[in-house]
Amino acid sequence: MSMKAIMYHYVRPSDANLPFLKHLHFDDFKLQLDYFENTYGIINQDEFINSLRTGEAVKGVVLTFDDALSCHYDFVYKELKRRNLWGIFYVPTLMYSSDKILDVHRIHILLGMVESQLIYNELINLVTDEMCTDASKIEFKTLTYNTQKNDSYTNLVKRILNYFISYEFRETIIDQLMEKFIPEQNRQRSKFYITEEQILEMQENGMTIGSHTASHPVLSKLNRVDQTKEIINSFSFLEQTCKGLPYKTFCYPYGGFHSFNQDTVNVLNENDCLFSFNVEHRDIVQSDLLNHKQELPRYDCNQFKFGQIRE
């Protein structure tokens, strides 16, 4: 019995507006659904919930979609509905109250729209040594004096924004980059994410809506109190938006065992979360279903036929 959960992010046709955005092409997604339906079968909600109760894995694939991206309604949900399939959609929730696209996604928009070398050059102007974390100050200096030729500008931009800059400066720097490079209409939250109405419609049509925290942080970097806030606030937003959730499910931002800790698992258990997904590339087995419900393993779609990003 091989039971597999699959993780997706951007699933959409190519968009001339975002020529560099890494996404699974919608046509490839449909081919992959055909492949999964024919090879493993796709598990429905009742089968999955039942296997969590009994500990018996069932043969098939569970489809999961992270980050509440607008393509999850426009393409994914409509396709799943057409095929009568079940999917779980993990939604970060802070953007619904702030009207701002989350930093993690603003970096995707920047790198998806603009040549990464231009962003890199601008970053080098904006970021000073003082803005860097102590751990990265020397590395940042070296970087600005001699850029390694084998390093792509995309990776450099990501390293500066995700690793070098202290958290307190990061949002302002991203604000400045967005202002400089991204037209107003592409900075709107409502175009980037699924809407609250769509979330409700998706649940009412058989999809599962789960929490992906409020602000999409690396949870293991937060203390227990702040982790609790991230988790509780996002669930209460979703319960309100969906007019009640049949059960709570969660998935860790970024994923992997470094992205959460025992506090996270305890908070999820204390809040009656039924199950949570990690990123760990293996099948779900009986011991996961019985003893590690908050750390269910999940594959990336690119590990299966048709799941690769087009060049």
Residues that bind Zn ion (CB under 5 A): 66-67, 253
Of the two residues 9 and 25, which places its CB atom closer to Zn ion in the complex?
9
Are the beta carbons of 213 and 253 closer than 8 angstroms?
yes
Give the shortest CB-31-to-Zn ion separation in angstroms. 24
Give the shortest CB-253-to-Zn ion separation in angstroms. 5
∠ at Cα 193 (31, 107), nearest 5°?
A: 90
Report CA 86 to chain centroid distance, whole Å: 18
200-218 as b/e: b if 16+ CB within 10 A: eebbeeebbbbbbbbbbbe
Of the two residues 210 and 253, which places its CB atom closer to Zn ion in the complex?
253
Q: Which two tokens stand for residue 132?
A: 């860097």
Of the two residues 114 and 251, which places its CB atom closer to Zn ion in the complex?
251
Measured between alpha carbons, how far is 311 from 173 in angstroms, rounded to an integer? 30
Phi/psi for 171 (5° steps) reads -60, -45
∠ at Cα 311 (301, 187), nearest 5°?
A: 80
- State the DSSP H helix or E strand holding residue 12, giving kind and residue range, or none if neither: strand 11-12
Give the shortest CB-79-to-Zn ion separation in angstroms. 21
Of the two residues 66 and 295, which places its CB atom closer to Zn ion in the complex?
66
Give the shortest CB-103-to-Zn ion separation in angstroms. 12
- Cβ-closest residue to Zn ion? 66
Are the beta carbons of 87 and 65 closer than 8 angstroms?
yes
Give the shortest CB-68-to-Zn ion separation in angstroms. 9
Q: Which amino acid is located at 299 in the chain?
A: Y
Measured between alpha carbons, how far is 168 from 172 in angstroms, rounded to an integer? 8
Measured between alpha carbons, how far is 138 from 136 in angstroms, rounded to an integer? 6
Give the shortest CB-7-to-Zn ion separation in angstroms. 9
Of the two residues 140 and 250, which places its CB atom closer to Zn ion in the complex?
250
Give the shortest CB-43-to-Zn ion separation in angstroms. 22
Q: How crowded is residue 254: how many other Cβ atoms within 10 Å of its Cβ? A: 16
Of the two residues 51 and 234, which places its CB atom closer to Zn ion in the complex?
234
